[in-house]
Structure 1
Amino acid sequence: MKTKFGGCRLSSLTWGFLLIFAGCSPQQSTRLISENNWYKGNLHTHSYWSDGDEFPEVIMKWYKDNGYQFVALSDHNIFQEGEKWVSIRQDSMYRNAFQNYLNEYSDSWVIYEKEGEELRVKLKTFDEYAPLYEEKEQFIMLPAEEISAGYEGKPLHLNATNIDQLIQPREGGSVVEVLQNNINAVLEQRQESGKPMMVHINHPNFRWAITLEDMIRLKGERFFEVYNGHPAVNNLGDSARLGYEEMWDFINIAYLEKGQPLLFGLATDDSHSYHEQSSKLANAGRGWVVVRAEELTPGALIGSLEKGDFYASTGVELEDVRYADNLLSIRAKPKDGVTYTLQFIGCKTGEKETTILKTVSGNEGEFEVGEDFLFVRCKIISSEAQENPVENMNNQQAWTQPVRPGGEPLGN
C-alpha cells in the first residue's frame, strides 16, 4: 500500500494566487509543496537464521508480494552474515517447502547437502538475499537484530533496527538494568556510526517479564509494541495485569511528568511460522506500521517514526492522519459494508489515567487537543474481522500516535 496526499488547508482562492505566482497547475503545486508517501512495514520477524521456519528470501518475497515496502528481519542475537547451515525437518511439510524453495531459486542459488534422511541447507546472508527484492521506492530491508537478554529467567527482548553491526546482549542486576544497558548499546552504536538507528521494547507481557514499573524507569526508549502478533505475548493482559494499550498510556503519563519524550506504539508480526496458519502459531501479516515519509530510505523512515508520523495497524487502513493547530484529524479508508468507530483517548493535565474523550461512528473525525491535555491519541476499530487473529482480538484496529498541545504538526 502506498497512498499520496496533499497537506494544505488553504482556500481555493488562496490556492489560485499561489498557483498564478508559481506558474503551475493545482495538481503540480500539491505535489511540489506537500506530497509525502505512506509506507507499510514490519519491524519484527524471524527466519531460519534463528527460530523461524523459513528461508529469508521466501519471507521477503511474501512481504513484498503482499504490499509491504520495508521489513526488518530481526533474528535472535545474530545477524545474517557469515556461514550458517540449517537442518530441514523430515516432516513432509518442511521437505515440500524446501523443494518449492529449490524450484523457485534453482540449484545455482541453493547450496545443500543430503546424506540419507539428513538434509542441510546453507543460508544466504543479508548481503546475498537483500538485492533480490530491494527496489527504489518499492521495497527495502532494514538490517536488524532481536537483542535477546534475560534476568532470572525472564526474557528481555529489544529490537535494534538499521544496525551497523551485531550487538551482543548486555547483562545487568535487574530487569530495568538489563533493558537499559541494551538500549544504551543501540544508542551508543548509533552515536558512533552516525547511522540512523532505532530500538524498541518487544512484548513486555511475554512470560510477564516486564512490568509497567520497569518500563517507566527506562531512559531513551521511544518505542514499544502496543500489538504483537505472537499468540503467547498476552497483548490484552489478564485479570491482574495490564494489557499493552493500558500500559502505553500509563507509561506516557509518567514520562511526561518526568519531562521525557512520548513513547510511541508499534504493531508487529513477530512471525516465526510460515507453513501453517493458526491462531496458535506466530504467522505473518497480523500487525504492521504505516509510516509517512519523504522517501523510502532508512533515514527518512526512522526520522518519521521518531516524530510519531505513523500509525500501527492490524488491518485498518487510514487515508490520512493530520495534526495542526492542536486539531487531530483522522480519516479511515471507506470500504463497502464496513463501519468504523473512532475513539479519541487522552489524559488531562493532573490526571492519572486516560479516558475516552470522544467517540465517532464513521470513517472520519477530529478532536481539538486543548492546552489542558497531556496527550491525545486515536484508536480506530473496524467492523471487519481480522484474518487469523490471536487472543480473540477479532476486529481490525489501528492506533495513531499520541500528540501534545502545541506539538509538531503531522501531515502538513
Structure 2
Amino acid sequence: MKKSKHYACLPLLGLAVSFLIAGCAAKDAAIPESKNWYKGNLHTHSYWSDGDEFPEVIMRWYKENGYQFVALSDHNIFQEGEKWVNIRQDSMYRNAFQNYLKDYGDSWVSYEENGDTLRVKLKTFAEYAPLYEEAERFLLLPAEEISAGYEGKPLHLNATNLDQLIQPREGGSVVEVLQNNINAVLEQRKESGKPMIVHINHPNFRWAITLEDMIRLKGERFFEVYNGHPAVNNLGDSTRIGYEEMWDFINIAYLEKGQPLLFGLATDDSHSYHEQSSKLANSGRGWVVVKAGELTAGALIEALEMGDFYASTGVELEEVHFADNQLEVRAKPKAGVSYTLEFIGCNTGEKETRVLKTVRGNAATFELEEDLLFVRCKITSSEAQVNPVENMPYQLAWTQPVRPSDSEKEKP
C-alpha cells in the first residue's frame, strides 16, 4: 500500500541486532539465546479521541517505519462501535482525507458530505487490525489511556492489552485516584487471565503528579521516563524535578519498602500527524525495544515485566548483558557519531543516585558491588534527535535498573 504523502521521513531503528540481555538472576551467559528484539510504541492517539488521523493510516506509518508493535491508546475509549468524526475545513485536513480516500478506496471509506461539512465513519480495531498484523512482523495491542483527574489535575494511565474498557475511577486525592485506576487494571488482569500492564503517563503534565504521589503507589511497575509530547515537562523546571531524576528517587523508595523496581518507558504520545514541529506531538520520538521469544502480547508483557527492554529516542543498542554482577552495554557504532555512557546508581542506604562511572565510547562494562542498591545506564549520542522536544537535542537511550544478582527476591 502506498505511503501517505503527508509524513516526513524519520530514521529507522534497525532491528537486526545481535543483542543479549539477561534478567537480574542470570547466571550462565553461555546459554544460547532464542529471543528476538521488537520495537514498539505504547502511547498513541487517533481520531477516536484527540488525535488528527485515521487509525489505519497511523498503523501503516508505524509498520513502514520499522516498528513491530503499537498500542493505540485513545482517551477513555476503545476503537469499537460506531463513531463519526467531522473533518476540519482546513485544507491540510481535507487534503489528508483525499489521500486517505485515494489510498483505501470508496469500498473502505464511509463518508458524508453536506455543504462544507465532511463526516467520516471511523474503522474499528477489529476492522483495521487485520490490514497490518503479521506473525512476527507487526502486532496491534488493544489499549486505553485511562484519563481521570482530581481537582483539575490530569491523572492519566495507559493500560495495554486490555480485555474490556475501564471507566475512570474517582478518589479523594491524586494518589487515591491513581491507585484506584491501577487496581482496576490489575483486577481485570486477574479476572480475565489475560496479560496486561498499566503505566503512569507524563507525571509533569500540568504538574499533576508529584514524586511523593508516585512513591505512595502500589502495584505500579512502569512510568514514562520520556514522553514525546511537547507539553509534558520531561526535564522539570527550576523548582520541580524531571522524569529521570524522579525515576531514581522512586526506586530508592520502592526498594526500601520491598517493592519491585519501577521500569522506564519512552513513548511518542503522538496526536499530530500532518505537520512536523517541536511544538506538536508527532510520531517517531520515543519507543521501547523489547526482547521476547515471540511477537505476542503475552511474550512482550512478560519481557517488559522482567525489565528485558530499553527505552530510546534514537540510540540503537547492540548489547545489554547483565550476569554475574557485570553490566555490559554497547551502542551500535555509527560513522561520525560518538557516545557517552553513564552508569547511574547508589549504594544501599543512600538517598540519591550519582554517576558512578562515565565512559566516552560506544561500549563499557560496570561491575556491581554487593552493597550497590541498583544501577542503570544512560547512553547519550552526539547525533541529533530528529524533531526533538524541550531542550533534549541529542539521541538517548536508557537501560532498565538492575540489582546485584543475589537480590532475586526483588525480581518480578
TM-score, scaled relative to structure 1: 0.92
**3-state SS of the aligned residue for 1:224?**
strand
Give yes or no for the alignment of 1:336 onto 2:335. yes
Cα offsets for 1:163-184 (capped at 9, x unmatched): 0010000000000000000000
Read off the aligned partner of 2:221 and give its amino acid letter: R
Read off the aligned partner of 1:3 and give its amino acid letter: A
| Structure 1 residues 40 and 7: CA distance shift in structure 2, 3 A | closer
Cα separation, 2, equivalents of 1:112 and 1:296:
35
**3-state SS of the aligned residue for 1:320?**
strand
1:212 deviates by 0.2
Q: Which residue of 2 aligns with 1:23?
A: none
Q: Which residue of 1 aligns with 2:202?
A: 203
8 Å Cα contact 2:84-2:120 kept in structure 1: yes
1:355 deviates by 0.3
1:32 deviates by 9.5
Read off the aligned partner of 1:175 and give its amino acid letter: V
| Count of paired positions | 388
Q: Which residue of 1 aligns with 2:321?
A: 322
Give yes or no for the alignment of 1:89 onto 2:88. yes
Cα separation, 2, equivalents of 1:157 and 1:136:
31
1:7 deviates by 5.3
**3-state SS of the aligned residue for 1:215?**
helix
Cα offsets for 1:315-354 (capped at 9, x unmatched): 0000111100111000100000000000000011111000
Q: Which residue of 2 aligns with 1:160?
A: 159
Q: Which has the higher contact order (CA 8 A, sep 6+)?
A: 2
1:90 deviates by 0.2
Cα separation, 2, equivalents of 1:196 and 1:320:
27
Q: Per residue, is there more helix in 1 or in 2?
A: 1
| Structure 1 residues 8 and 68: CA distance shift in structure 2, 3 A | closer
Cα separation, 1, equivalents of 2:21 and 2:304:
22
| Structure 1 residues 259 and 110: CA distance shift in structure 2, 3 A | same
Q: Which residue of 1 aligns with 2:150?
A: 151
| Structure 1 residues 78 and 8: CA distance shift in structure 2, 3 A | closer
Q: How does 1:105-184 map onto structure 2 within 5 Å?
A: 105-184=104-183
8 Å Cα contact 1:130-1:141 kept in structure 2: yes
Cα separation, 2, equivalents of 1:308 and 1:240:
31
**3-state SS of the aligned residue for 1:103?**
helix
Cα separation, 2, equivalents of 1:267 and 1:364:
22
8 Å Cα contact 2:19-2:319 kept in structure 1: no
**3-state SS of the aligned residue for 1:96?**
helix
Q: Which residue of 1 aligns with 2:16?
A: 3
Cα offsets for 1:12-64 (capped at 9, x unmatched): xxxxxxxxxxxxxxxxxx99931321100000000000000000000000000
Q: How does 1:268-347 map onto structure 2 within 5 Å?
A: 268-347=267-346
Cα offsets for 1:376-402 (capped at 9, x unmatched): 000000000000000020000000000
Read off the aligned partner of 2:250 and give its amino acid letter: I
Read off the aligned partner of 1:98 and give its amino acid letter: F
1:3 deviates by 2.6
Give % identity: 82
Cα separation, 2, equivalents of 1:370 and 1:329:
14
Read off the aligned partner of 2:312 and give its amino acid letter: S
Q: Which residue of 2 aligns with 1:353?
A: 352
Read off the aligned partner of 2:71 and give its amino acid letter: A
Cα separation, 1, equivalents of 2:159 and 2:233:
22
**3-state SS of the aligned residue for 1:5?**
coil
RMSD: 1.5
8 Å Cα contact 1:4-1:36 kept in structure 2: no
Read off the aligned partner of 2:197 and give its amino acid letter: M
Cα separation, 2, equivalents of 1:41 and 1:290:
6
8 Å Cα contact 2:19-2:317 kept in structure 1: no
Q: How does 1:186-197 map onto structure 2 within 5 Å?
A: 186-197=185-196
8 Å Cα contact 2:20-2:320 kept in structure 1: no
Cα separation, 1, equivalents of 2:387 and 2:281:
10
Cα separation, 1, equivalents of 2:204 and 2:21:
41
**3-state SS of the aligned residue for 2:106?**
coil
Q: Which residue of 2 aligns with 1:102?
A: 101
Cα offsets for 1:252-303 (capped at 9, x unmatched): 0000000000000000000000000000000000000000111110011000
Cα separation, 1, equivalents of 2:90 and 2:138:
33
8 Å Cα contact 1:3-1:319 kept in structure 2: no
8 Å Cα contact 1:5-1:35 kept in structure 2: no
| Structure 1 residues 386 and 130: CA distance shift in structure 2, 3 A | same
| Structure 1 residues 8 and 288: CA distance shift in structure 2, 3 A | closer
Read off the aligned partner of 2:94 and give its amino acid letter: R
The runs of 5 or more residues in structure 2 that have no matched partner are 1-13, 23-28
Q: Which residue of 1 aligns with 2:372?
A: 373
Q: Which residue of 2 aligns with 1:258?
A: 257
